[in-house]
Structure 1
Amino acid sequence: MTARFLNNLMLYIAMSISIPSAAVAETPAQEPMWPGASYDPAIPTFEKVLGFSPGERISNYHQIQRYFEALQEAAPDRIKLQQYATSWEGRALIYVAIGKPENLASLDSYSTRIQALADPRKTNKTQAQQLINILPAGVWLQYGVHGNEISSTDAAMFLAYHLLAAQNDAITQQIMDNTIVFIDPLQNPDGRARFTSRYYATVGLEHSGDRLSAEQNEPWPRGRSNHYLFDMNRDWLAATQPETKGRIAAINTFKPQVIVDVHEMGGDQTYYFAPAAKPFNPHMTATQIANMDEIGRNHAKHFDALGFDYFTREIFDAFYPGYGDSWPTFYGASASTYEVGSARGHVFHRRNGEVLTYRDTVQMQFVASLSTAEGTAIGREKLLNDFYQYQLDAIEEGKDNDARTYILTNEKNRHGTHRLATLMAEHGAEVKLMEESFKACGRNFKAGSYVIDTAQPRGKFVTTVFAEQVDMSAEFIAEQERRRARNLGDQIYDVTGWSLPMMFNVDTIACDKAIKAKGTFISPSHALAANVTNMDAKVGFIVPWGDMAAGRFLTHALRAGISLKSADEAFVLEGKRTYPAGSLIIERSKNKDDLNLKIQAIAEKTGAIVEGTDSSWVTKGPSFGSDKTVTMNAPKVAIAWDTPTSSLSAGNTRFVIERQLGYPVTAIRVPILARADLSGYDVIILPEGYYGRALGQAGADNLQDWVSKGGVLIALGSANRFLADEEYALLDVKRELAHRNDDDNKAPDDAESDDNKVEGQLFTSKDDLSNAIIEAETSPSFVAGVLANVEVDQEHWLTAGVDENLVTVAYGSDIYTPIKLDSGKNLVWFSGPEDVLASGYLWAENKAQLAYKPVLIHQPMGRGMVIGYTQSPTFRAYLEGMNVLLTNSIFRASAHTKN
């Protein structure tokens, strides 16, 4: 047995006989975290502040905060602590900057100099070189974005201690001399708090490393996600969560040249670091990739010396720009993901017989982190030079780009356009609000349009997230098709389409020219201006429907007790002004005297357009008193919660409704839905999940009875499997098997004879063999996530105010048959086979089978209805373009029930 195995075993025995809550000193038999290190006693240790040694216990949120505060108190000239955000549950998110005193004396001055280096339009090459000669490089190490990936945060704490306390250590001195080390120790405090409290609640007399134990199996929703159950490593593009927003602002302040996002993976794996797997995003540079490869080589040196196993290149690609390790590359950083095999507690029994301890994982994370800082210090001058060159190249590439300038017209989707413009400003891009009309590329544009010129330091990011298509390399695609031909799994890790204008349903014009018209750069806090006219109107007010400014006006008005209606069809008032279907009508006679004050306040909060009217005379379309102008109510909305729902879908959906639409949702645990009196709710949403066992026939009967009495049941994505199951029959559609050509997979007559033989068949190629081994009944191929074009029925009240064409995310392998006319209507469907793919990479057979299949299904049932979204409109909460449809499904649908 190796010495390392014996040490691990001794630690395991020591931990096993200890009481979980006890604070026990580090056992003398353990090797130090960094062999040969001696530490300054003036810097407080884990033991002194927390009562346990590094890796002995899983630190909780309060212990983490307390330890960093103690470090700052002990060495205030070498460590600065800053809060950058507050979580939904009220926990502070912090980063610390560590460096020698002269570098930390004024972080504001350091930021100013880095910003100067980041903009060659203001800093010429001579000035840049002067800055490079004196500036330390910035390295930003971020930990624990997934709250149950626990070891990285304790490693971050020990890294800070080591940098401040290590004496006579050449590596540490080099780091302090040449870098500022930014440590973001806990990106997801709410998730970690959830994990640690639940983990220690399961511990008995001794810690269990058995993968069947409660310690190794977290209850729903696990600690991975934040309060709203977001996987925040996928939130960097839409930046919906306060934790992400704060982190983006902090990183943009200092623009560190190296960023590493530190994670955990399955406990049977070892340690992963750069080089990353293919494919790479084509807008990343070879220099950035090479810099991380060089730092990876540095890790290998230390891991080899310490006897740590590791691997590179096999998983975790760098294609999707919305990860914590890919987003920074688009301002010029070199970035990477690190992953350690997780103990997911104090101890874990690997399949190969090894015992993995929590301390092992903390030590490996610490070594990789220290090695990253060392690699940054060694490459200081090169990294700063490469950073400046990246900005130069971005500007020059923008000038030569066929899509040099993106113009956001702001003509149809005011809210979506504004949200996209301010989001890009939040990312650090320069976005100009045009103050005058202008002409560009043969078109006329109005004042109020937004312009983003890619000839700017953030130009590569703009191109990456605005382009309709970002291609994976031909070599990588060829390999995936080869693997599929061999019936091997593909290696596509995540979504392959992410064009923000498509997802936000924003009209964007690409122009190859710079725009010279007058405009002002906006900030992320730039507000969408409300437009309220004729406040003294005698009859009332109309809010044109069609974007989420109007949608948010509706939810705020309902919560404020305003009485209002919504027109099922477009109408023309006084033969002059046409209002789209869904438009809100607020009649003064049906509201209180404070109506004007409420409307003004809500309009300013939402940015909605509100037009007063002195007449209700409609010359075309439904009148104010028509049956086709329905009274809107304030529905009581519930969402299925807990097992077996997908926590991500449940959380994303609740967030969209509560925080983007502005309306409260009650979470109800799934088993309660099977037996409870649901009459107090108007709308129930089933997020993605597999409900058959949890609800069963009793649950189906209870839901059917509730719907029949006037309820609105909305199912998202895989939840439709339960509704469509013929045993439960809540939605009259079927889930399709994979379509195969008549000549493919043609099996012999499988009727067995008495001697269990079948008719012989002839294979003339390897393809025949490949086809013969595929089961006759399989699901369509799984799709990692693409953007798909969909078409919308324009003649139904449920699609009022929704554009004729939208883009949604197509994900997974579920495809449904259309509903028959005698049961309901297919209101949204995928476009044809040549047009269905909007962005990303979609298997040819999926293109063919998805074409014209339903995305939104409406089925009346008694006095209520069932609404099925075969693809979830709340995916990662970045489908702004689907939000009006979702709003209709909740509010207009509940108004149309026959209660």
Structure 2
Amino acid sequence: MRLPGTLLVVALFLGSAGPAVTNAQRPSTATAQDDGDFAKFVKQATTKPEFLSPLVDHLPKKAGVPTPKDILGYHIGTEKKLTYVADQQRYFRALEKALPGRVKTEVIGKTEEGRDIMAVFVTSEANLKNLETNRQNMRKIADPRGLTDAQVQQLVAGTKPHYHISAGLHSGETNPPESVIELAYRLAVSEEPYIRQIRDNVIVSIMGATDVDGRDRYVDWYYAYKTEEQYDGGENYGGPPYWGKYVFHDNNRDINYGVDSLRAHLNWYLHWVPPIWHDVHEAQTLLYTFSGQPPQNANLDPILYTELPFFATYEVNKLTSYGMPGVWHFGFVDMWSPGYLGFAAANHNGMLRMYEVFNQGGANTKKARLQGGQTTRQWYRPNPAPVGEVDWSIRNSINYAQTGLLTALELTSKFPQMVVENYYQKSANAVKRGGDQPPYAFVIPAGQRDQTQVDRVANLLRRQAIEVHRATAEIKIKEDTFAAGSYVVKLNQPYGPLAKTLLEKQNYPDASLTTYDDSAWTMGMANNIDVRTIEDKSILDAAATLLKEDVTTLGGLTDPNGAIGAGSATYIVQHNGALNLITLRYRLKDSAITAAKAAFKIGDREFPAGSLLIPASDRARREIESLGLMGMAVQQLPAGVESFDVDLPRIAIYTTWANTEKVGWVRLAFDRWEIPFDLIHKDHVQAGANLVSKYDVIVMPHQTANGKSIVYEQPKLSKPLPYKKNDTFKSLGLYAETDDVRGGMGLAGAAEFQKFVEAGGVLVTMGVASAFPAEFGIAKGVEAQNPAPGFYAPGPYVQSEILMPAHPVMYGYHQKTLPIRFNGGPLLQAGPPPGFEQFVGSSPERPQIIARFTGGEAGVLSGLMRNPDQIRNRPMVVDAPAGKGRVILFANNPIYRWQTFGEHGMLFNSLMFWNDMTGAASSKPTTTGGQQ
């Protein structure tokens, strides 16, 4: 149903009579009761009058309620002052203690380093008293199935909109966590009519530091180095090499919420289901407000695409009326990718809002140069930023951010019922669309080779509150017949559009448009499992039960001949692609485990090459079962089964200091799959390092831009910048330490890698890191090239072809072709150039192409790739022997964020079978241009 009388957008902009606050330009409402010291401060701290607004040029005072300065010792936006999270939270608790009827704090979880993640609610006394009832009502609105029209009307009329604001997701963006401290105070104490209206009509929640660990680490770095940065340029000391434990900027790209602290934010959102989530960021714009430009995800409700410009245009209107230049919308971030943290709101029928406010990387006033598009007048930028140099203080940024947020909250308070009703309508539309329009469901068939991957997808869907059913009987529909146990994701549910977004092929809407992040994320392809699209409506009536909890894959051993009881048995664990095989090997590190060189059968059951042969024990059986692995107990192996020892390697992961983030995803995966490793960097690979005495395998994840940047990293253009533990700055020095993050391994370090390989070590490179052994002669016969102009590939899924299925890297991959996320390069060439094959012959160091990209338009499986012929027949995985060792080069990135689980197995095989690759079947080389 659609409630009448809420189409108020036109009335608003035509100046219709409404709630108490008018739309006219508001003069300052400062009074004699305000904080006089703050009024002087803000005028001095703001570098030009036009960078201040009448909403924030004063600060109200209330007896018995501490201002931020009363607790912190300084006004928010003071030169060279940034606030640690513990102090921010201390202030929020003090505010709660002083105004318990208006303010409530809530710890929503812990970070990886054990710090509290805190939300603070600010609203009226009546709303706070009714907070839990309002939450329960909002959850009913979010899932309106079964509600009558009368119940909907009652809920919409009686439920306050919940507006959630998050700050500090990106730790180098220093203003937002400061802004929201003062914002919380203003909202709690001000008696200005528009703020009273906000308190009465809106429940505001604030996440003061979304990445708590990263915020503290950046503040430590700022106080250690950046306070010395000069006003007029000169040396810039950047930021710390780590924010959170694992990821950096990608904490806003964790589409599957693999990082625990990010999952805490998702869980909090799903508990409270606020209709609006406003994420405040910084860039080089004075204030950009997100309005949802193309390309747009068509699975999201059309209502959303009216709400976003409605809010954004109002903000541009109001801040422009205050004389603040450089406020605009459109022309920046698009609505295609669902993977941003705050996109949890849009994905769940709410509204993601976002700001980008000017960033100067700290709290020093600096000379900023404004240039580019933000200084040009456009229909969406009526009052552009001034061209040229301008003094910019952190207080300027705080003024912009707070003025925008107060304006957005004011608009919400004017039309609270519209916000709630739109939320209901989008949720109701989602249910209806899933029952009226194909596709009606997705089915993940039972009986796939690796049930752990299948169950992981079901659990990842459930993580985002998508309903997943399990078939209780065979399902016969137009598309196929599916066995009992198949998973059915019906789309006639509130989060059906999200399920469709995640599971379907991404058909990019306009190849002429670029996108802000990935163009594809199709879950079946990312996990290398079969997912079927169902257009037969009868699937909605299929016999299936709703999963009430996450699925635990139950492994087990068949024992057809009673081998377990007979003693001295062998457990054969199938290598069917399960990633937990490597976990099993490490859990049984003291066992003498071997692996089958080739596939073999026992009766009707096939055991692929790489299947593990494990001495029987109760412990081994328990681990096999707990890890969801499948196998058989036998008294003796069939005749002719050849095997090799599965030796555990000593592993290091190599990281640059300039780009730790992509390495962080690999560290996360290794930690989750219990793969021990040392994290090494430039200091560990200097002349005389003798790496082979310490490690058998060194993994070099995707990082930086090319091989040269891996070797040389950051130029030494400033003073030394240590990243080390110390008693003053306790967040520094975690995960790795160095006396100077600048510089790189240099040619001496590259030579140590070459010695490592030639002495018997295995170097495994991923993505751009594969340019390093190619460019520096470590992988002989391999070249790394950049795509030609006109090539554009923002993370599509493409087809690859396995050329060497018997190679240990490909154990567990049974199909001839694989979906692979294209990493953007490099484009590899392996083998001699055309016409030179006769001079190479069968050299033992001739590189072998294990798998290649098929290329062409037909090879683009999901998402966008322009000029796909450039990757035709280009090597994807290369085995390059060198001396006693070898280099395994992946042109793809087998561990991309928390997504490409279907590619992890290639990397894990490279670790498990590191010294078992000699003599693998050869393949034909690929020459320049990708032709055979």
Compute the TM-score of the two structures, normalised by the length of structure 1.
0.84
Kept in 1, the 8 Å contact 2:362–2:394? The answer is yes
Give the aligned partner of residue 826 of structure 1: 849
CA distance in 2, matches of 1:200, 1:868: 41
1:884 aligns with 2:905: yes
Q: Which residue of 1 aligns with 2:794?
A: 784
Q: How does 1:838-857 map to 2 (within 5 A)?
A: 838-844=861-867, 847-857=868-878
Instruction: Write out per-residue CA displacement over residues 606-635 of structure 1, whole angstroms, 9 at most, x where no aligned residue.
Output: 2222432222224xxx52xx3xx2211222
Q: Using a 3 Å threshold, how does the CA distance of structure 1 residues 121 and 242 change in structure 2: closer, same or farther? A: same
2:337 partner letter: Y
Pair 1:500 & 2:523 matched? yes
Task: Say whether 1:342 aligns with 2:373.
Answer: no
Deviation of the 1:492 alpha carbon? 2.8
Distance 1:181 1:672 in 2: 49
Instruction: Give matches, 1:288-303, under 5 Å.
Output: 288-303=304-319
Q: Deviations over 1:801-828 (max 9, x none)?
A: 1132322221334211133574121111
Q: Partners of 1:615 and 1:201 in 2: how far apart?
A: 65
2:161 and 2:605 mapped to 1: Cα distance? 60
Structure 1 residue 720 corresponds to structure 2 residue 773: no
Alignment of 1:255-294 (within 5 A): 255-266=273-284, 269-294=285-310
Residues 537 and 261 of structure 1: CA distance in aligned 2, closer, same or farther (over 3 Å): farther
Indicate yes or no: 2:649 matched with 1:647. Answer: no
Deviation for aligned residue 1:497: 1.1
Tell me the residue number matched to 2:132.
108
Would the aligned equivalents of 2:162 and 2:276 in 1 still touch at CA under 8 Å? Answer: yes
The correspondence for 1:354, drawn from 368, 372, 390, is: 390
Q: 2:507 aligns with which of 456, 467, 470?
A: 470
- 1:867 corresponds to which of 885, 888, 912: 888
**Residues 835 and 163 (structure 1 numbering): CA distance in 2 closer, same or farther, change over 3 Å?**
same
Shift of residue 458 of structure 1? 0.5
Name the counterpart of 2:480: 443
SS at match of 1:214: coil
CA positional deviation for 1:179: 1.4
The partner residue of 1:316 within 322, 333, 346 is 333
Q: Separation in 2 of the partners of 1:143 and 1:27?
A: 21
Residues 617-636 of structure 1: matches in 2 within 5 Å?
617-618=638-639, 623=641, 626=642, 629-636=643-650
State whether structure 2 residue 548 is matched by structure 1 residue 520. no
Do 1:320 and 1:494's aligned partners in 2 also have CA atoms closer than 8 Å?
Answer: yes
> What 5-or-longer segments of structure 1 have no aligned partner?
1-22, 481-490, 589-594, 739-777
Letter in 2 for 1:182: S
CA distance, structure 2, for counterparts of residue 104 and residue 401 of structure 1: 41
| Residues 649-668 of structure 1 aligned to structure 2 (within 5 Å) | 649-659=662-672, 661-668=673-680
C-alpha change, 1:192 and 1:264, in structure 2 (3 Å) is same
1:15 counterpart residue number: none
1:758: which partner in 2? none
Change (3 A) 1:803 1:173: farther
Query: Which residue is 2:634 aligned to?
Result: 613
Aligned to 2:578: 548
1:160 is displaced (CA, Å) by 1.2
CA distance in 2, matches of 1:809, 1:208: 43
Is residue 126 of structure 1 aligned with residue 155 of structure 2? Answer: no
Where 2:551 maps in the other structure, the secondary structure is coil
CA distance in 1, matches of 2:213, 2:915: 34
Tell me the equivalent position of 1:213: 235
Which letter does structure 2 place at the counterpart of 1:416? Answer: Q
Q: Report the CA distance shift for 1:119/1:737 in structure 2 as closer, same or farther (over 3 A).
A: closer
Give 1:162-177 correspondences, 5 Å limit. Answer: 162-167=186-191, 169-177=192-200
1:327-476 superposed matches below 5 A: 327-346=344-363, 347-351=365-369, 352-410=388-446, 411-472=448-509, 474=510
- Structure-2 change in CA distance of 1:807 and 1:781 (3 Å): same
* Structure 2 Cα separation of the partners of residues 517 and 341 of structure 1: 53
Distance 1:260 1:815 in 2: 40
2:226 touches 2:362 (CA, 8 Å); kept in 1? no
Structure 1 position 714, deviation (Å): 0.6
In structure 2, give the amino acid aligned to 1:343. Answer: Q
Partner of 1:761: none
**DSSP 3-state at the match of 2:56:** coil
CA-CA distance at 1:556 after TM superposition = 3.9
- Measured in 2, the distance between the counterparts of 1:25 and 1:828 equals 67
Alignment partners' CA distance in 1, 2:132 and 2:915: 53
Match of 1:800 in 2: 811
Select which of 109, 130, 140 maps to 2:164: 140
- Dislocated runs of 4+, deviation >6 Å: none
1:247 — aligned with what? 265
Contact 1:139–1:181 (Cα < 8 Å) also in 2 = yes
Aligned mates of 1:492, 1:52 — CA distance in 2: 41
Taking structure 1 as reference, are residues 790 and 456 closer, same or farther at Cα in structure 2, changes over 3 Å only? Answer: same
Cα pair 2:768 2:825 within 8 Å, conserved: no
1:424 deviates by 0.7
Q: Tell whether the 8 Å contact from 1:146 to 1:188 is kept in structure 2 after alignment.
A: yes
Segments of 5+ residues of structure 2 without an aligned counterpart are 1-37, 46-51, 370-387, 713-743, 833-841, 920-932
Q: Which has the higher mean CA deviation after the structures are superposed, 64-73 or 851-860?
A: 64-73
Q: Secondary structure at the match of 1:157?
A: helix
The separation in 1 between residues aligned to 2:549 and 2:202, in whole angstroms, is 30
Provide the C-alpha distance between the structure 1 equivalents of 2:779 and 2:657, rounded to a whole number of angstroms.
20
In structure 2, what is the Cα distance between the partners aligned to 1:888 and 1:818? 21
Shift of 1:321: 1.0
Contact 1:549 1:608 in 2 (8 A): no
Cα distance in 1, alignment partners of residues 138 and 758 from structure 2: 63
Give the secondary structure class of the aligned counterpart of 2:858: coil
- C-alpha contact (below 8 Å) 1:495/1:784 kept by paired residues: yes
User: CA offsets per residue over residues 776-815 of structure 1, 9 Å max, x none?
Assistant: xx56634222111112231222211113232222133421
Flag the 1:136–1:228 CA change in 2: closer, same or farther, 3 A: same
Q: Distance in 2 between matches of 1:50 and 1:605?
A: 50
Partner of 2:26: none
Match of 1:566 among 582, 590, 595: 595
The 3-state SS of whatever aligns with 1:582 is coil
Matches within 5 A, 1:145-156: 145-156=169-180
Residue 816 of structure 1 aligns with which residue? Answer: 828
Output the CA distance in 2 between the equivalents of 1:788 and 1:507. 16
Equivalent of 2:73 in 30, 51, 57: 51
Amino acid at match of 2:772: F
Question: SS where residue 159 of structure 1 aligns?
Answer: helix
Residue 874 of structure 1: SS of its match in structure 2?
coil
Distance 1:286 1:274 in 2: 16
Q: Does structure 2 retain, via aligned residues, the 8 Å contact 1:46–1:54?
A: yes
Aligned-partner residue type, residue 580 of structure 1: P
CA–CA distance in 2 between the matches of 1:36 and 1:156? 16
Q: 1:42 to 1:361 in 2, by over 3 A?
A: same
Confirm or deny that 1:92 pairs with 2:124: no
Provide the C-alpha distance between the structure 2 equivalents of 1:557 and 1:583, rounded to a whole number of angstroms. Answer: 16
Mapped partners of 1:851, 1:554: distance in 2: 37
The alpha carbon displacement at 1:699 in A equals: 2.5
Residues 254, 897 of structure 2: 8 Å contact kept: no
When structure 1 is superposed on structure 2, of 187-196 and 302-311 the one drifting more is 302-311
1:739-793 per-position Cα deviation (integer Å, ceiling 9, x unaligned)? xxxxxxxxxxxxxxxxxxxxxxxxxxxxxxxxxxxxxxx5663422211111223
Which amino acid in 2 is paired with 1:446? A
Mean CA deviation greater in 803-812 or 373-382: 803-812
